[in-house]
Amino acid sequence: MARATTAAWRWATSRLSTPPGRTTLPRVASAAVGSSTTSSTPWHSTTSALSGPTTSSRDDRSPCRPVTVYGAAKLAGELYTEAYRQTYGLVTIIVRPFNAYGPRAPVHGTRAEVIPRFLIRALNGLPPVIFGDGSNGRDFTYVTEVARGLLAAGAAQTPVGTIVNIAYGRMVTIAQVADTVLRAVGRNDLSVALHTPRPGDVHRLHADNRRAAQLLGYQPTIEFEDGVRRYVAWFAAQYPDPAMLLEDRLENWTMPAAPVEAAP
């Protein structure tokens, strides 16, 4: 049975930030077919591939109902992975990391996530902006925990085609995220500002990690509050002037313009 080389896996994981519609997976999988090592080929998917608008706790066999283009692109990657497994015998494992955060997270534009955006505003004496009422939640997982899970998946001798969640295993609401960030930077004097909910947002999402524990020996160890403190320390050293990171727009997404109706 064909197996993926470690080099091919490393190259694949280095390219997984490719925007939707430009996936490199078919090229990576084709390169891996015919190699002869015993490591698996992991596909770095996302919880967005399976999430519906009312999603809560998810295990590895939950149905896939993406509500965003990004999630649909990741689901397409999962289907490519399964097709290469069935057609060419490629040894694969699909990994679904949940909401990674920490050092080197994007801080600008559409890829900037909630924790760095909250942190930038707090460091500039501005209230964190929550889209919605703050009750929506995620399973935030520190970046080194995600990396450890990906490494374990690449080395594991798991059943072919396995899907595993890599996550902290506890849901944290966005209101709790804002409170944690404010406490970490000593700005308890600030209050959050509520804004219009984000289109297509999944309300609540957290992971069932049992399969990763059983097959990979994966157990998260970094508590959310500790992870935020670590990130704040890294951020302060990396960005000594947080004022340079402020953006004019609150929203970091755009919606397509409504079609113009033709005159009768």
Q: What is the pLDDT of residues 171-221, one digit of tens each?
A: 999 999 999 999 999 999 999 999 998 887 888 888 899 999 999 999 999
Kindly indicate the confidence band of residue 62, based on its pLDDT and cuts at 50, 70 and 90: low
**pLDDT band for position 258 (cuts 50, 70, 90):** low
Residue 201's pLDDT is 80
Query: How far apart (Å, rounded) are the C-alpha atoms in residues 198 and 231?
Result: 25
**Which of 6-20, 22-36, 180-194, 211-225 is predicted with the least confidence, judged by mean pLDDT?**
6-20
The whole-number pLDDT of residue 159 equals: 72
Nearest-angstrom CA–CA distance, 67 and 76: 13
Closest CA to 49 of 222, 192, 152, 202: 202
| Nearest residue to 166 via CA among 204, 119, 222, 116 | 222
pTM value is 0.78
Ranges assigned E (strand) in 98-254? 100-101, 129-131, 137-138, 141-142, 162-166, 172-173, 193-195, 206-207
Q: Report the C-alpha gap between 129 and 227 in whole angstroms.
A: 21
Q: Which helix (H) or strand (E) holds 23?
A: none
Q: What is 6-245's CATH topology?
A: Rossmann fold (3.40.50)
pLDDT tens, position by position, 107-137: 988 888 999 999 999 999 999 999 999 999 9
CA distance 93 to 154: 8
